[in-house]
């Protein structure tokens, strides 16, 4: 049973890492192009949620991801 949970944990961590990487790429591409990306506006979404708790979490997650790499 512990093998299952370890495997599940690794898959969840991998999925979160992939999602944060895609978010970072989206932010960088949007900053370079200056437009939303296929109807997706990651910079605008982070700015809109900036003062909310989820916005702070998003900014901290991006910072930690950049610091990790």
Handedness of CA 30, 36, 40, 43 (dihedral sign): positive
pLDDT, position 51:
66
pLDDT, position 69:
56
Quote the CA–CA distance of 37 and 22 in Å, as a whole number: 12
Percent of the chain whose pLDDT exceeds 70? 87
pLDDT, position 43:
74
Over residues 14-41, the pLDDT tens digits come to: 888 888 888 788 878 777 877 776 777 7
pLDDT band at 50 (very low <50, low <70, confident <90, very high): low
């Amino acid at each position: 049973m512990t093998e299952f949970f370890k495997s599940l944990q690794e898959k969840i961590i991998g999925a979160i890492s992939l999602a944060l990487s895609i978010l970072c790429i989206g932010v960088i591409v949007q900053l370079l192009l200056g437009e939303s990306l296929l109807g997706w506006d990651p910079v605008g979404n982070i700015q809109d949620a900036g003062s909310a708790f989820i916005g702070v979490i998003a900014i901290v997650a991006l910072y930690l991801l950049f610091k990790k790499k």
